[in-house]
Homo-oligomer: A and B are copies of this chain.
């Protein structure tokens, strides 16, 4: 078994790499890659830093092929919106070139792609289903959607075994990790944990989709072993207001820092007006949300 994790130095990547190393300890080869050398790694782990936008690096990295590839590397949404050329390179050309290099070696490689709910754009309040149309309102979401389409087509042609998972903002990212527009969701949890006041940019009744890093990691690993290829999956999430999550975090910690709620209309529109989700199809495929808000908070606070 040979496994590759890209973006292994990112928030989700570190969590995934950790679990992959523990759970696939007998793998012949586990390769972690990121722009800079990944920090963790036990067992048969190789850390190969490099730029996935560089065809020469990609070519060498893909040699001699993998059984499972988790492609997490990406430029976060807000940053990609400001840095269009870099976003184009990292979020569009990167996955397209990686998929092509992998397919040139082995058509049975399972490529698990970390997509994003940014593919949807303005959702309105109708329940989201697999047929919900996508009209991305960030270039990040446009690139993720384009990659999903390309990967589904490669699966259709049987040149690569692909699956895309649409992740919401995963909590709780480190405070320094603020290139994501959804960073406030993580900041809220960190500030309650350290009992510090927090200026939340969106109103208390803003509704977000929530997933802990450990739930995201389990969904990625589940996707790696699913028999069906070519799917684009919206994993189940917790659907809760900012205030409900703050309350759960306060119950878990016993802290009650002051939280001041703002009214950033743009952030609320993109991340804080999420409709209900019908994830029955994904659930029937074995994907899972955090069990409840307290489980989410616990996962977040226990080294998640």
Copies of this subunit: 2
In the assembled complex, A203 has its CB within 8 A of some CB on chain B: no
- Of A28-36, A66-74, A141-149, A180-188, the one touching chain B: A141-149
Rounded to whole angstroms, the CA-CA distance of A157 and B81 in the bound complex is 9
Contact of A145 among B137, B149, B157 (CB under 8 A): B149
Which of A135, A149, A156, A157 neighbours the largest number of chain B CB atoms within 10 Å of its CB? A149
In the assembled complex, A293 has its CB within 8 A of some CB on chain B: no
A233 to chain B, nearest CB (A): 14
Closest 5 CB pairs of A and B: A142-B153, A146-B146, A131-B133, A142-B149, A139-B153
In the assembled complex, A201 has its CB within 8 A of some CB on chain B: no
A140 to chain B, nearest CB (A): 10
Rounded to whole angstroms, the CA-CA distance of A294 and B198 in the bound complex is 69
- A147-169 vs B, CB cutoff 8 Å, 1 = contact: the mask equals 00110110011000000000000
Q: Which residues of B contact A84 (CB under 8 A)?
A: 157
Asked if B157 and A135 make an inter-chain contact with CB atoms under 8 angstroms apart, the answer reads: no
Chain B residue with Cβ nearest A119: B149
- A120-145 vs B, CB cutoff 8 Å, 1 = contact: the mask equals 00000000001111111101001001
A172 to chain B, nearest CB (A): 29
Rounded to whole angstroms, the CA-CA distance of A84 and B107 in the bound complex is 15
With A133-B133, A146-B150, A149-B149 known, 8 other A-B pairs at CB within 8 A are A130-B133, A131-B133, A137-B156, A139-B153, A139-B157, A142-B150, A142-B152, A146-B149
Rounded to whole angstroms, the CA-CA distance of A137 and B132 in the bound complex is 19
Chain B residue with Cβ nearest A142: B153
Rounded to whole angstroms, the CA-CA distance of A134 and B145 in the bound complex is 12
